[in-house]
Amino acid sequence: MTPREVAREEFLRRLGEAERRLDAGFLWLPESAAPELDDRAAAVLDEAAERLKDNDPYGHPLYAGQMLKPPHPVARAAYALAMSINPNNHALDGGRASSAMELEAVAELAKMAGWSCAADQPQPLGHLTSGGTFANLEALWIAGQLASEKGTPRGIAASDQAHYTHARISAVLGLPFVAVGSDDAGRMDLDALEAALGAGEIGTVVATLGTTATGAVDPLHRIAELRARYGFRIHADAAYGGYFTLAGNLDAEARAAFDAMAQADSLVIDPHKHGLQPYGCGCVLFRDPAVGRFYKHDSPYTYFTSPNLHLGEISLECSRAGAAAVALWATQRLLPYELGGEFARGLESGRGAALALHAKLAGDARFVLPIAPPALDILVWAVRGATIVESSTRARAIFEEARRHDLYLALAELPARFFPAGSWPANSGEGASVTCLRSVLMKPEHLAWAGEIWSRLQGASAATLAR
């Protein structure tokens, strides 16, 4: 057998042993009612396996396109183990153990963000969600509830480079939304923010720690300074980049922003991005646990089995997979959130890969790099051309050719002002955008594969630009 097949067999063996230990502690269904995988079921699974081949190789280092990071084997095994029970982390009688594990896992995320979880301190409030979108919805919903209660401005402000979900969520919640301009590095422009705050209609500012297009990090530390003057609420959308607070190789500005995470009033982070978890696993956290009062609701049949907190009492979602909490808890036990630890080194490797590839691109006259180097592990670059149209056309062609070289990239439409003046001498009109190549180097293995990625990119570019 190949090493991969041996590893797979060992994975399944250990999972089977864990399931047998779990089974031994329960009174399950009678043997006659136990489900069986007969020939028909096996055929369906074989068909499903064939269908699933219609995907790109997301787990391989040559896949550097979208934000797809394989879950850790322990997360996969813990999720599968929990699925043999299928707990629901809404009410304690649907998932006592997994609810307790969720609270412990969320506390680890809060500590990573810099919030105290000491017994003599108010505990941050938080829970897992189906993903960052719903986590952001809950954070902005709380912001709107607080504004209504206090009679303060209800408007939400976020950078024009923030995730599009903030504008949509604001519309769903009936909250005014203001898109604040960004600087040439893709970060929220503080002068533009202050001008918007001057109108007196913004109650919450969303600071993005890792934009999904370029990985830019809004200056949270400086936004916090403005809060002292204008009195708004800060929500940190760290869905993509939050874990980078553990990385030891950030530049000074990004480091300062992550060091200010504890100053946010609410925080979102997605363990299913850099946290090595299966989809979907997001998390929302609130510094002030008193906001839990806004979740209060009546249910005539749900919360009566225990006087302890039921997670459904502090979440908008109802049924939620307890297996997601078990998987996250198990991964944290194996790979603690420690500076300099194994988990942190994986993040540092991804950023190192982005910097290594950035250096290669900088020495190749065929490409144009943005004004700002990568802040995290996302890298974007344009293809040189006389016009923006020509540059964009070439980028799309290289994107397609790269796939024939088994290199999987992505495309991004970015403001031309992110690139040095004169990059497209024939036309660089105000407000123009250019189609760029983009890579998300979020796997630890990307660092060792950076040379191979560069070699294949060179091959794809030579084949394309020679036509």
* DSSP one-letter string for 145-190: HHHHHHT---EEEEETTS-THHHHHHHHHT--EEEEPB-TTSSBPH
Amino acid at 241: G
Minimal CA–CA distance to 243: which of 206, 281, 205, 190?
Answer: 281
Q: Count of CB atoms within 10 A of residue 389's CB?
A: 15
pLDDT tens readout for residues 49-97: 899 999 999 999 999 999 999 999 999 999 999 998 899 988 888 899 9
What percentage of the chain exceeds 70 in pLDDT?
96
Question: What are the tokens at 187?
Answer: 């970060």
- The amino acid that residue 80 corresponds to is A
Give the helix/strand (H/E) hosting 10: helix 3-23
In the chain, where does the domain assigned CATH 3.40.640.10 lie?
92-334
* β-strand partners of 125: 286
What pLDDT score does 14 carry?
83
pLDDT bracket for residue 28 (50, 70, 90): low
d(CA 459, CA 448): 19
Q: What average pLDDT does the structure give for the chain?
A: 92
Binned at pLDDT 50, 70 and 90, residue 329 comes out as very high
Q: At what angle do helices 3-23 and 73-83 cross, to 10 degrees?
A: 40
Say what the pLDDT of residue 429 is.
56
Which residue spans of the chain are classified as CATH 3.90.1150.10?
A: 342-465
Tokens of 229: 């003057």
The correct answer on CATH 3.40.640.10 for the domain covering 92-334 is yes
Which burial class, exposed, middle or buried, applies to 417 when counting CB atoms under 10 A from its CB (0-12, 13-18, 19+)?
buried
Q: So what's the architecture of 342-465 in CATH?
A: Alpha-Beta Complex (3.90)
